Amino acid sequence: MILSIIFFLIKSLCCISIAFFAVLILIKIWLKLNTPMCTCKVRLDEKTVVVTGSNMGIGFETAKTLARRGARVVIASRNEVRSRAAVEAIIEATGNPRVEYKPLDLSKLSSVKQFADDFNKHYDRLDVLINNAAFNGFGHVKTEDGIEKVMQVNHVAPAYLTNLLLDKIVGSKPSRIIFVSSGAHNTHAIDPDDLEGRKPVNIWTKYSNSKVCNVLSAKALAKCVPEGVAVNSLHPGVAKTELYDMVPWPLDALFNFVLENVCKTPEECAQTTIHLACSPHLERVTGQYFNDLEVDKTHPSVTDELADRVWENTIALIEDRTRRYKN
């Protein structure tokens, strides 16, 4: 009797495992058949591009492709060792020597200010700014600026960086500003009056809130910049990147297996960003949210009113926390 039960359980487990892996294989095949790649052949030889968080993952693939098209690419990241290795790898892969590293730590608004001051002083143009860097993590962690870390790294600091570089972007038009958001924005519970994160929320909601702010930033900023500056956001897709390293044991093994073997690759996830940065057909398209190279729907709450409110509150928060940097 006991042996029969054991054999039944083993047989059931085998059947479930086979079904599970069959589903994963079908998903992988579907993704391969339905993941569009940017096919535009535009060269970027006279362009300067900044890609934040581009020393690995999706940002690295984005920077590499833009460098291959001839752009001067600035790797704006926190980890110097990893970033310098990324610069060398991109130069070797593309033959383009105009790839550089500039330190940028989005968890410190002082670092954002230092990066922007240095860039504005030493670079004569900025054709494409790609706010790609992202962070997630457990706990309610505040930065030295008194802002919840996920919201600062993913939203507040990129907004600050964009504002500090805006004159250079406008002076280089036609130019583009790109916010790498996420489909996770659809599950947000944003409080536009608590962008600094006074009230703790769970790890998923923190990330979702920061990502809807990316979408809202693009929507609001698109109405403020002059004609010739396109501002858009996007969902890159899901791939195995450092962003998912916080998955706890024992789920991490299964999670990483699925990410590595089923989901999109970082190169595939970079395609919509590359499309927004390069396609001549998108020069006048602004204030939109993209997915798989096409304009996509956002959460119904993403309205002009909410976008304006979040952007205004973000600028007010930045001004409050950066008064000491003003002359």
- Give the C-alpha separation, 253 to 247, whole Å: 9
Residue-wise pLDDT for 266-316, tens only, equals 899 999 999 999 999 999 999 999 999 999 999 999 999 999 999 999 999
Amino acid type, 315:
I
Residue 138: domain span: 39-321
- Give the C-alpha separation, 61 to 280, whole Å: 21
What pLDDT, on the 0 to 100 scale, is given for residue 200?
86
- Over residues 220-242, the mean pLDDT reads 88
What pLDDT, on the 0 to 100 scale, is given for residue 196?
93
What pLDDT, on the 0 to 100 scale, is given for residue 136?
85
Asked if pLDDT for residue 17 goes beyond 80, the answer is no
The residue annotated as part of the active site, out of 207, 244, 289, 325, is: 207
What pLDDT, on the 0 to 100 scale, is given for residue 223?
96
Asked if pLDDT for residue 153 goes beyond 60, the answer is yes
- Whether 222 is in a domain gets the answer yes
- Whether 289 is in a domain gets the answer yes
- Whether 5 is in a domain gets the answer no
- Whether 10 is in a domain gets the answer no
For strand 289-291 and strand 294-295, is the pairing parallel, antiparallel, or unpaired?
Answer: antiparallel
Q: Name the domain count of the chain.
A: 1
- Whether 15 is in a domain gets the answer no
What pLDDT, on the 0 to 100 scale, is given for residue 160?
98
DSSP, res 45: T
- Whether 18 is in a domain gets the answer no
**207 included as an active-site residue:** yes
- Whether 115 is in a domain gets the answer yes
What secondary structure does DSSP assign to 135-193, as a single string? ---SS--B-TTSSBHHHIIIIIHHHHHHHHHHHHHHHT-SEEEEEE--GGGGG----TT
Q: pLDDT higher for 95 or 199?
A: 95
Instruction: CATH number of the domain at 156, please.
Output: 3.40.50.720
Asked if pLDDT for residue 26 goes beyond 60, the answer is no
- Whether 29 is in a domain gets the answer no
